[in-house]
Amino acid sequence: MPMRIIGKTSIDFIGLRRISFYLSAFLVLAGLYSLVMIFSGRGNLGIEFAGGTMVQGNFDSPVEIGEMRRVMSEAGFDDATIQELQRDVANSYVIRTRAAPGKDVKIGMQIEDALRAAFPDNEFHLDSIHEVGPAIGKELRQDAGLAILVSLVGILLYIALRFDFRFGVAATIATFHDVMTVLAVVYFLDKEITILVISALLTLAGYSLTDTVVVFDRIRENLKKLRRKSQFVDGVNLSINDVLSRTVITSLTSLLVVVVLFIAGGEVLRDFAMALICGIVIGTYSSVFVASPVYVEWENRRPRRFK
Amino acid sequence: MQRRVTWVWVLIAVLLSGSAYALWPTIRIAAMDDARRQAAEEKDPAAWMRLKRKAIKLGLDLRGGMRVVMEVDKSKLNPAEAKDAVDRAKEIIRNRVDQFGVSEPLIQKQGQDRIVIELPGITDVRRAQELIGRTAQLEFKLLEPRENVQRILDRIDLVLEARDTTRREPVPEEEDIFDIFSDTIARADTAQLVDVPGDITAELAPPPIGERPFTTLLEPVGNWFRVVREDAAWIRRWLEDPDVRTEIPPDVQVAWGSKTGYAGGLAVEYLYFLKSNVELSGKYLTDAQPSFDQFRKPVVNFTLTRAGGRIFARVTGANIGKSLAIVLDDRVVSAPEIQSRIPDRGQITLGGSDYEEAADLAIVLRAGALPAPVNIIESNVIGPSLGADSIKKGLTSVMIGISLVLLFMLFYYRLSGAIADLALLMNIIFLMAVMATLHATLTMPGIAGIILTVGISVDANVLILERIREELRTGKTVRASIDAGYKRALVAIVDAHITTLITALALFMFGTGPIKGFAVTLAWGVGISLFTAYVITKAIFDLRKGYKTLSI
The predicted-structure confidence for B97-111, as pLDDT tens digits, reads as follows 888 777 778 888 888
Q: Is the dihedral of CA B439, B518, B393, A81 positive or negative?
A: positive
Task: With CB atoms and an 8 Å threshold, state whether B397 touches A249.
Answer: no
Burial B104-132 (b: 16+ CB within 10 A, else e): ebbbeeeeebbbbbbbbebeebeebbebb
User: Measured at the alpha carbon of residue A130, what is the angle toward residues A126 and A136, in degrees to the nearest 5?
Assistant: 170
Q: Does A162 touch chain B (CB under 8 A)?
A: yes
User: Is the pLDDT at B137 greater than 90, yes or no?
Assistant: no
User: Is the pLDDT at A2 greater than 70, yes or no?
Assistant: no
Q: Does A103 touch chain B (CB under 8 A)?
A: yes
State the Cα torsion B450-B456-B458-B461 to the nearest 10°. Answer: -140
User: Measured at the alpha carbon of residue A248, what is the angle toward residues B427 and B464, in degrees to the nearest 5?
Assistant: 45
Distance from CA of A15 to the nearest CA of B (A): 25
SS3 A17: helix
Residues A288 and A152 in one domain: yes
User: Is the pLDDT at B179 greater than 50, yes or no?
Assistant: no
User: How are strands ordered across the β-sheet holding B345-349?
Assistant: B285-292, B298-304, B345-349
Task: With CB atoms and an 8 Å threshold, state whether B496 touches A210.
Answer: yes
Q: What percentage of chain B carries pLDDT values higher than 90?
A: 8
- Residue A75 has a CB neighbour count (10 Å cut-off) of 18
- For β-strands B252-257 and B65-72, DSSP reports them as unpaired
Distance from CA of A163 to the nearest CA of B (A): 11
Q: Are A58 and A127 within 8 A, CB to CB? A: yes
Q: What share of chain A is helix, strand, coil (3-state, %, to 5)?
A: 65, 10, 25
Residues A83 and A220 in one domain: no
- Enclosing H/E stretch for B252: strand B252-257
Residue of B nearest to A207 (CA): B496
Distance from CA of A147 to the nearest CA of B (A): 5
Task: With CB atoms and an 8 Å threshold, state whether A132 touches B378.
Answer: yes
User: Is the pLDDT at B191 greater than 60, yes or no?
Assistant: no
Render A120-158 in DSSP notation, one character per residue: TTS-EEEEEEEEE-HHHHHHHHHHHHHHHHHHHHHHHHH
Residue of A nearest to B468 (CA): A246
Task: With CB atoms and an 8 Å threshold, state whether B401 touches A151.
Answer: no
Task: With CB atoms and an 8 Å threshold, state whether B512 touches A147.
Answer: no
Distance from CA of A126 to the nearest CA of B (A): 6
Residues B464 and B321 in one domain: no
Q: Are B497 and B509 within 8 A, CB to CB? A: no
Task: Tell me the average pLDDT across B181-192.
Answer: 28
- Say which of B444, B454, B495 has its CB closest to residue A268: B444
Q: What is the DSSP code (8-state) at residue B75?
A: G
Residues A282 and A167 in one domain: yes
Q: Which of A9, A255, A256 to mutate to test the interface with B (most CBs of B within 10 A)?
A: A256
Tell me the residue length of chain A: 307
Q: What rounded mean pLDDT belongs to chain B?
A: 80
Residues B107 and B141 in one domain: no
Task: Tell me the average pLDDT across A213-223.
Answer: 81
* Chain B residues in contact with A163 (beta carbon < 8 A): none
Name the nearest CA neighbour of B457 among A273, A256, A185, A41: A256
Tell me the residue length of chain B: 552
Q: Is the dihedral of CA B281, B287, B292, B297 positive or negative?
A: positive
Q: How many CB pairs under 8 A join A and B?
A: 218
- Structural domain of A82: 52-132
User: Measured at the alpha carbon of residue B497, what is the angle toward residues B492 and B499, in degrees to the nearest 5?
Assistant: 95
- Structural domain of B79: 65-133+376-382
Residues A31 and A85 in one domain: no
Residues A223 and A80 in one domain: no
Q: Measure the CA–CA gap between A253 and A269, rounded to whole angstroms.
A: 19
Q: Of B366, B382, B398, which residue is a domain's last?
A: B382
Residues B104 and B163 in one domain: no
For residue B268, give every residue at least 6 positions away whose Cβ sits within 8 Å of its Cβ, in sequence order, or none. Answer: B219, B226, B227, B228, B229, B260, B261, B262
The reply to whether A227 falls in a domain is yes
Q: What is the DSSP code (8-state) at residue A255?
A: H
Residues A150 and A60 in one domain: no
The reply to whether A2 falls in a domain is no
The reply to whether B531 falls in a domain is yes
For residue A76, give every residue at least 6 positions away whose Cβ sits within 8 Å of its Cβ, in sequence order, or none. Answer: A99, A110
Task: With CB atoms and an 8 Å threshold, state whether A3 touches B507.
Answer: no
User: A177 falls in which pLDDT band (50, 70, 90)?
Assistant: very high
The reply to whether B505 falls in a domain is yes
The reply to whether B168 falls in a domain is yes
The reply to whether B218 falls in a domain is yes
Q: Are A287 and A214 within 8 A, CB to CB? A: yes
Name the nearest CA neighbour of A281 among A61, A27, A88, A69: A27
Task: With CB atoms and an 8 Å threshold, state whether B381 touches A130.
Answer: yes
Residues B249 and B317 in one domain: yes
* Chain A residues in contact with B456 (beta carbon < 8 A): 254
Name the nearest CA neighbour of A56 among A25, A18, A29, A83: A83
Q: Of A115, A132, A149, which residue is a domain's last?
A: A132
Q: Of A103, A132, A161, which residue is a domain's last?
A: A132
What CATH code is carried by the domain that includes residue A101?
A: 3.30.70.2040
Q: Of A76, A106, A132, which residue is a domain's last?
A: A132
* Chain A residues in contact with B402 (beta carbon < 8 A): 257
pLDDT of residue A101: 65
- Residue B391 has a CB neighbour count (10 Å cut-off) of 20
pLDDT of residue A259: 92
Residues B202 and B126 in one domain: no
Interface of A with B in 187-206 (CB under 8 A): 195-196, 199, 202-203, 205-206
Q: Are B74 and B372 within 8 A, CB to CB? A: yes
Distance from CA of B412 to the nearest CA of A (A): 6
Residue of B nearest to A51 (CA): B378
The reply to whether A287 falls in a domain is yes
Residues A175 and A257 in one domain: yes
Q: Measure the CA–CA gap between A261 and A279, rounded to whole angstroms.
A: 14
Helices marked H in B438-477 — which ranges?
444-473
- Say which of A102, A127, A209 has its CB closest to residue B385: A127
Q: Is the dihedral of CA A74, A75, A80, A84 positive or negative?
A: negative
Task: Report chain B's C-alpha Rg in angstroms.
Answer: 35
Task: With CB atoms and an 8 Å threshold, state whether B462 touches A5.
Answer: no
Q: What is the DSSP code (8-state) at residue A72?
A: H
Higher pLDDT, A298 or A178: A178
Query: Torsions phi, psi of B340, nearest 5?
Result: -155, 175
User: Is the pLDDT at B174 greater than 50, yes or no?
Assistant: no
Residues A35 and A63 in one domain: no
User: B200 falls in which pLDDT band (50, 70, 90)?
Assistant: very low
* Chain B residues in contact with A99 (beta carbon < 8 A): none
Q: What is the interface pTM, i.e. ipTM, of the complex? A: 0.84
What CATH code is carried by the domain that includes residue A186?
A: 1.20.1640.10
User: Is the pLDDT at A232 greater than 80, yes or no?
Assistant: no
User: B203 falls in which pLDDT band (50, 70, 90)?
Assistant: very low
The reply to whether A79 falls in a domain is yes
Q: Of B382, B398, B425, which residue is a domain's last?
A: B382
Per-residue model confidence as pLDDT tens digits over A58-96: 888 888 888 888 888 887 788 888 888 877 778 888 888
Please tell me the number of Cα atoms within 13 Å of B259 on its side-chain side: 16
pLDDT of residue B184: 26
Residues B98 and B148 in one domain: no
Interface of A with B in 130-159 (CB under 8 A): 130-133, 135-136, 140, 143-144, 146-148, 150-151, 154-155, 158
Q: Measure the CA–CA gap between A82 and A67, rounded to whole angstroms.
A: 10
Distance from CA of B334 to the nearest CA of A (A): 22
* Chain B residues in contact with A256 (beta carbon < 8 A): 401, 404-405, 408, 455
* Residue B140: strand pairing partners: B280, B326
Distance from CA of B494 to the nearest CA of A (A): 9
Task: Tell me the average pLDDT across B197-207.
Answer: 29
Residues A143 and A223 in one domain: yes
Task: With CB atoms and an 8 Å threshold, state whether A109 touches B455.
Answer: no
- Say which of A89, A108, A154 has its CB closest to residue B502: A154
User: Is the pLDDT at A274 greater than 90, yes or no?
Assistant: yes
- Residue A155 has a CB neighbour count (10 Å cut-off) of 23
Task: With CB atoms and an 8 Å threshold, state whether B491 touches A106.
Answer: no
Task: With CB atoms and an 8 Å threshold, state whether B470 touches A205.
Answer: no
Q: Are B445 and B517 within 8 A, CB to CB? A: yes
pLDDT of residue A105: 58
Name the nearest CA neighbour of B225 among B172, B175, B265, B274: B274
Q: Are B157 and B213 within 8 A, CB to CB? A: yes
Task: Tell me the average pLDDT across A131-158.
Answer: 84
What CATH code is carried by the domain that includes residue B534?
A: 1.20.1640.10
- For β-strands A124-132 and B345-349, DSSP reports them as unpaired
Distance from CA of A36 to the nearest CA of B (A): 23
State the Cα torsion B537-B541-B542-B546 to the nearest 10°. Answer: -170
Distance from CA of B472 to the nearest CA of A (A): 11
The reply to whether A307 falls in a domain is no
Domain count, chain A: 2
Task: Tell me the average pLDDT across A172-192.
Answer: 90
- For β-strands A92-97 and A52-59, DSSP reports them as antiparallel
Residue A76 region, left (φ>0) first, then alpha (ψ -120 to 50), else beta?
left
Residues A28 and A73 in one domain: no
- Say which of B397, B409, B458 has its CB closest to residue A260: B397
Interface of A with B in 21-40 (CB under 8 A): none
| Choice among A106-110, B419-423, B457-461 with the minimum mean pLDDT | A106-110
Task: With CB atoms and an 8 Å threshold, state whether B500 touches A203.
Answer: yes
